Structure 1
Amino acid sequence: MTTTTTTFVAARSRAHGPTAALWHAVEVHRTVADLDGACELTVCGSLARVSTERAWPATGTDVCPACTTQAR
């Protein structure tokens, strides 16, 4: 029997047009060691590149408000 832990990790989106690059939450169902920095679907539905160097919840002014609300 294997156990799976639900973890939130931080991911950075790219700036696109008038939209600034933001930190998002990604819900992962595997170990953080298995993440390779690829793009993942975020909690709010955008695509963002996972960062194993930054923890969630991310702090600062450039954090997605939808992810902050949903990833509690």
Structure 2
Amino acid sequence: MTTPTVAPAPATVYAAARSRAHGPTTALWHAVEVHRPTPEVDGACELTLCGSLARIMTDVEWPTVARDVCPACVTLAR
């Protein structure tokens, strides 16, 4: 009898997304959990980890080195 093996859970993949400035707020970089192939999400607006809507930018890596990054997304993406 063989022991069943359990496959490791796939790593969570995040994409960088840019929000729009709205009222007194500034545009920020956010993290979006990605479950679809890159061509399907490039430029799409998605719900970020912190609950904002932002446009995914597949040419920017997450975590981004920019200064204007959402602190909630940084914490939630760890």
Count the aligned residue pairs.
69
- Indicate the percent of aligned positions where both proteins have the same amino acid: 67
Aligned to 1:68: 74
Instruction: Return the structure number with greater strand share.
Output: 1
Q: CA RMSD in A?
A: 1.5
Length-normalised TM-score, structure 2: 0.80
2:53 aligned partner, one-letter code: L
Q: CA deviation at 1:19?
A: 0.5
Q: Does 1:51 align with 2:57?
A: yes
CA deviation map 1:23-50 (0-9, x unaligned): 0000011222321311000000000000
SS at the partner of 1:48? Answer: strand
1:43 aligned partner, one-letter code: L
Length-normalised TM-score, structure 1: 0.86
Structure 2 spans left out of the alignment, 5+ residues: 1-9
